[in-house]
Structure 1
Amino acid sequence: MKTISIVVPCYNEEANIEALAYAVKDIFKLRLANYRYELIFIDNDSSDSSRDIIRKLCAEDKDIKGIFNAKNFGQFNSPYYGMLQSSGDAVILMAADFQDPVEMLPEYVKAWEEGYKIAVGIKKASRENFLMYRMRSLYYKIIKKLSDIEQIEHFTGFGLYDRSFIDVLRRLDDPTPFLRGIVAELGFRRKEIPYEQPRRRAGKTSNNFYRLYDAAMLSITSYTKFGLRLATFIGGISCILSMTAAFVYLVLKLMYWDRFPAGMAPILIGMLFLGSVQIFFIGMIGEYVLTINQRVMKRPLVVEEERINF
């Protein structure tokens, strides 16, 4: 009998964990009876009662396992690490808040049995904030245009991954993994399954502007050369424009020496413009350097505090 591992990253999801565990067990009992399940909750240092609930579920069912991180290691490292700890023939990554519909699990398994090594969910609509969904759509289109690697629009990581792909992830040894980009770059033949993202069942999302910005920058610095190339182009264009303006001012001053006061305004405007351009691109280059630095340090993905039922 084949085993399907379900990996669920958690952070302050006390209102959802137990309900999700029972929903997954019901799906396997009613629609996936020919498969064994391994349900892994990896907790990213929750401050609520999430860990107590996971301990209770693990005590009730030995096929439910828990990993407790020593601290919060971020929204990318924790789920990636959880996938590497799975032992199933295939691994399904999903969120704890029910925004990744449990009902899609049989569809993923069906695609897997048809021969697809990867089956991913693509959000075609969302019942969450309309403006946020549109902003994400714009972001994906921009990244898709800028990246040399094919990018998957509205893909959050929710999907099924064959054991052979998990073995590829193990060999990567990447301390700052971006799963969405890795699937697009290194993934096997895949099937994309559209779905409508529902609202959170309960609780409050931990995503904020900083987390979304961090995700966007990781994607840009890992899979595009746009920032560095743009700095070069704009620097060259600014240099040409500045030299042209300086030459024009010199000619006009020589021709109309007494009637052409250069004044301070053009000088100040030019200095402020060039200064702001330099500061912006120093920050952009800093993002690339930060990504390089994180990879060079080779820190562990996470540090475990406790694991249960392994």
Structure 2
Amino acid sequence: MKSISIVTPCYNEEANVKEVYAQVKAVIEQLGNYSYEHIFIDNASKDNTLMLLKELAAVDPNVKIIANSRNFGHIRSPYHALLQASGDAVILLVADLQDPPKMIKDFVEKWEEGYKVVLGVKTESEESFLMFGVRKMYYNFINRVSEIELTKNNTGFGLYDKQIIQILREIDDPYPYFRGLISDIGFPSYKIEYLQPQRKRGITKNNFYTLYDIAMLGITNHSKIPLRLAAMLGFAMSAISFLVAIVYLLAKLIFWNYFSVGLAPLVIGLFFFSSVQLFFIGIIGEYIGSIHTQVLKRPLVVEKERINFIKDHDINK
């Protein structure tokens, strides 16, 4: 009997964990001849999420819990849980039900056909039109600058064969851009389009900083174009500045009594070049920060406790 691991990261999702558990269990029962585990990784929730998960685990041994010692963020915690999965196929599914659990059936069907990666691609969304548009622009931008082709409109929701998970374990990245790593590994993927439903309970845990963090992580991990653009733009602007200086000099010599240089071009030019410099210093800082994170080599998370894991089957323990 093949086994399927469902991985669900949680942070303050007391309104949703029981519902996502029930929906996943119903889908797995419909599939039939599969065993499964549902791994919830709780990122030090401040509400009753962990307590509710423990209640589920007490009555259903298929529910496994990893409780983090603190909040390790939206990048490291889900990735750590994926590496702990023991199934022949591993499915990443968020707790807020914006990843429809009913799609598990479609993922497994395509996996049985031979695809080692099956991805859910949200072509439409019931979320804010503005936010969906901004996300779409980002995916288009990062695909243009990336050294590899990334999957647009995929948040990580999908199925990954155990071979893919083993490769991820060997990569040992302390701050991974998961979506990029899947594309970088290079196995052909099957993409299933879906409409992303609106969150019905609770509030999103994403904010400007978390979205900016993952956006910059995608750029710094998979593109050197911003760094090279700084060098090329610097050369081009220095050449333009030199030509403008020559033009101003000639104009002053020819029209000595009528041509006034004025302070406006000087002030505008100063602010323009200063802002461009600050922008690219910031870009360089992002790359340095990424290198710094890699050099520190800190663990993805520190676990406070595990529930319903069998010691012989613990991964990386």
Task: Tell whether 2:120 aligns with 1:124.
Answer: no
Shift, 1:256, TM fit: 3.3
Match of 1:247 in 2: 246
TM-score (norm 2): 0.95
Asked if structure 2 preserves the Cα contact closer than 8 Å seen for 1:165 and 1:187, the reply is no
TM-score (norm 1): 0.97
Provide structure 2 residue ranges, at least 5 long, that are not aligned to the other structure: 310-317
Please give the alpha-carbon distance, in whole angstroms, between the structure 2 residues aligned to 1:265 and 1:28: 69
Shift, 1:93, TM fit: 0.4
Question: Which stretch has the larger CA shift, 138-147 or 169-178?
Answer: 138-147
Please give the alpha-carbon distance, in whole angstroms, between the structure 2 residues aligned to 1:268 and 1:199: 48
Alignment of 1:223-238 (within 5 A): 223-238=222-237
Alignment of 1:53-202 (within 5 A): 53-202=52-201
Please give the alpha-carbon distance, in whole angstroms, between the structure 2 residues aligned to 1:139 and 1:241: 30
Shift, 1:63, TM fit: 1.3
For residues 90-140 of structure 1, the C-alpha deviation after alignment (integer angstroms, 9 at most, x for no partner) is: 100000011111111111111111111111101111111111111111111
Asked if structure 2 preserves the Cα contact closer than 8 Å seen for 1:43 and 1:68, the reply is yes
Task: Tell whether 2:295 aligns with 1:299.
Answer: no
Query: For residue 285 of structure 2, what is the amino acid of its counterpart?
Result: G
Asked if structure 2 preserves the Cα contact closer than 8 Å seen for 1:118 and 1:187, the reply is no
Asked if structure 2 preserves the Cα contact closer than 8 Å seen for 1:121 and 1:194, the reply is yes
Runs (4+) off by over 4 Å: none
Shift, 1:252, TM fit: 2.4
Please give the alpha-carbon distance, in whole angstroms, between the structure 2 residues aligned to 1:144 and 1:238: 27
Please give the alpha-carbon distance, in whole angstroms, between the structure 1 residues aligned to 2:229 and 2:278: 14
Shift, 1:274, TM fit: 0.9
Please give the alpha-carbon distance, in whole angstroms, between the structure 1 residues aligned to 2:203 and 2:164: 32
Please give the alpha-carbon distance, in whole angstroms, between the structure 2 residues aligned to 1:104 and 1:259: 75
Task: Tell whether 2:27 aligns with 1:27.
Answer: yes
Match of 1:38 in 2: 37
Asked if structure 2 preserves the Cα contact closer than 8 Å seen for 1:42 and 1:69, the reply is yes
Query: For residue 125 of structure 2, what is the amino acid of its counterpart?
Result: S
Shift, 1:2, TM fit: 1.0
Please give the alpha-carbon distance, in whole angstroms, between the structure 2 residues aligned to 1:243 and 1:214: 38
| 3-state SS of 2:273 partner | helix
| 3-state SS of 1:152 partner | coil
Task: Tell whether 2:22 aligns with 1:10.
Answer: no
Shift, 1:217, TM fit: 0.6
Please give the alpha-carbon distance, in whole angstroms, between the structure 1 residues aligned to 2:261 and 2:136: 47
Query: For residue 40 of structure 1, what is the amino acid of its counterpart?
Result: I
Shift, 1:262, TM fit: 2.2
| 3-state SS of 1:211 partner | helix
Please give the alpha-carbon distance, in whole angstroms, between the structure 2 residues aligned to 1:285 and 1:238: 18
Please give the alpha-carbon distance, in whole angstroms, between the structure 2 residues aligned to 1:128 and 1:264: 49
Query: For residue 25 of structure 1, what is the amino acid of its counterpart?
Result: K
| 3-state SS of 2:41 partner | strand
Question: Which stretch has the larger CA shift, 260-269 or 176-185?
Answer: 260-269
| 3-state SS of 2:31 partner | coil
| 3-state SS of 1:66 partner | strand
Aligned residue pairs total: 309
Please give the alpha-carbon distance, in whole angstroms, between the structure 1 residues aligned to 2:294 and 2:108: 34
Shift, 1:260, TM fit: 2.9
Asked if structure 2 preserves the Cα contact closer than 8 Å seen for 1:11 and 1:43, the reply is yes
Provide structure 1 residue ranges, at least 5 long, that are not aligned to the other structure: none
Please give the alpha-carbon distance, in whole angstroms, between the structure 2 residues aligned to 1:264 and 1:189: 59
Question: Which stretch has the larger CA shift, 3-12 or 249-258?
Answer: 249-258
Shift, 1:292, TM fit: 1.1
| 3-state SS of 1:149 partner | coil
Please give the alpha-carbon distance, in whole angstroms, between the structure 2 residues aligned to 1:242 and 1:18: 63
Query: For residue 66 of structure 2, what is the amino acid of its counterpart?
Result: I
Shift, 1:264, TM fit: 2.2
Shift, 1:145, TM fit: 1.3
Query: For residue 46 of structure 1, what is the amino acid of its counterpart?
Result: S
Overall identity of the aligned pairs, in %: 51
For residues 130-186 of structure 1, the C-alpha deviation after alignment (integer angstroms, 9 at most, x for no partner) is: 111111111111111111200101001011100000000000010111111111111
